[in-house]
Structure 1
Amino acid sequence: MREIGVPHPRLPLPASGERDDPRAFLAWLSDAIPMVEHLGIREMRREGESLVWELSLAPNLNDKGTGFGGGLTAQTTLLGWCWTTLWLRERGHARDVVVAEASQRFLAPVTGDYRLTCTPERAHGSETLAERLASRGRGRIALTQQLWCGDTLCLEACGDYAVLPAS
């Protein structure tokens, strides 16, 4: 049981050059952020620079029987946090990440199970973040999240994620 004001223990970093096991990372994330177990995440995977979640709609229904905007927004924000955290972990950094700014645009109702994708907003966003971390010890990256229900783009979100200085 999590206690208010008490940080959750960090997940040990993966071996040098390796990626986190998606199942182990999601299990840790569910412990660290209790609402995660209720989001309906069925799968997490990498596709190139993208982080992808496959999700069930059932836990995120609104009163109209479609996707609840507040829950979908929370998912896009968390997916960006995960993208940034996993990117850091692959490079051997155990750092705190916070969302600095986020916005979303709802394009169509979510009427079934869906997938969320997260990618850097700019082509060289990852390289810029790496350079800023090396030179300043902190940095930011702009990420785009898209929610797809089949072939329909239902939600597009943008987030600016800050990597805090090492403590």
Structure 2
Amino acid sequence: MPSTAPVADFDHAQRDALRLNLQKELLGQIPMAAAMQLAIAQWDGEQVELHAPLAPNVNDKGCAFGGSLVSVMTLACWSLIKLAADQRGFACEIYVQDSTVRYLAPVWNDFRAIAHLADGQSLDDFLDILALRGKARTATRCSIALADGTAACTLEARFVALRAKSPLQPANAAQS
């Protein structure tokens, strides 16, 4: 049975192992993540940071393509929820429900997306509801900053998680 207890005693090495495993999954199972050369650079249990080089994500003007920026931010938010579920032993499918993106300035260098839950949201509460009902929603926020720290773009997104039927069967698998 998955644990919904806080995981304050989860050590850095265990988090690193989950982070590296998820990065391998992303690059192996999501072709666009591999093409964008994403790296999950950091995860502290409360926020996740994805890095992406400019070269494979460039547009015709020489700055980062807007589609790449929103994709990296969406994957950062998704990764935050996935890592929290993995850390607590939950097998679930996670889907983006809706999102709003704001492009504030062009990005001319390699970039990093930092994702966290929106104000008033709790990973523990989210996973408690998932355990109880088999379905849960949460809101996330992500941003990509310029070198001076000002926001280049922001994302607000809501995600839905569905508990998997079994470890080998995705939550959305057809019933026989």
TM-score class, shorter-chain normalisation, is 0.7 to 0.9
- In the TM superposition, 1:12-27 aligns within 5 A as 17=10, 18-19=14-15, 21=17, 22-27=19-24
Distance 2:164 2:38 in 1: 30
CA shift, 1:19, in A, is 2.7
Counterpart of 1:152 in structure 2 is 150
CA shift, 1:45, in A, is 0.8
CA shift, 1:20, in A, is 5.2
Q: 2:159 aligns with which of 150, 161, 164?
A: 161
Counterpart of 2:99 in structure 1 is 102
Distance 2:64 2:73 in 1: 13
Residues 125/81 of structure 1: CA separation in 2 closer, same or farther (3 Å cut): same
Is the CA contact (8 Å cut-off) linking 1:113 and 1:149 kept in structure 2? no
Counterpart of 2:47 in structure 1 is 50
2:162 maps to amino acid:
L
* SS of 1:102 mapped into structure 2: strand
Q: Does 1:77 align with 2:74?
A: yes
Distance 1:166 1:114 in 2: 33
Deviations 1:92-127 (A, max 9, x none): 011110111111001111011121100000244223
Is the CA contact (8 Å cut-off) linking 2:63 and 2:106 kept in structure 1? yes
Is the CA contact (8 Å cut-off) linking 1:116 and 1:145 kept in structure 2? yes
Counterpart of 1:5 in structure 2 is none
Question: How many equivalent residue pairs?
Answer: 152
* SS of 1:128 mapped into structure 2: helix
Deviations 1:15-59 (A, max 9, x none): xx5435233321221111111111132452114511011221111
Q: Which runs of 5+ in 2 are unaligned?
A: 1-9, 166-176
Counterpart of 1:134 in structure 2 is 131
Percent identity, aligned pairs only? 29
| TM-score between the two structures when normalised by the length of structure 2 | 0.78
Q: Give RMSD over aligned pairs.
A: 1.9
Residues 91/42 of structure 1: CA separation in 2 closer, same or farther (3 Å cut): closer
Residues 131/24 of structure 1: CA separation in 2 closer, same or farther (3 Å cut): closer
Q: 2:117 aligns with which of 120, 130, 137?
A: 120
CA shift, 1:79, in A, is 1.3
Q: Does 1:64 align with 2:61?
A: yes
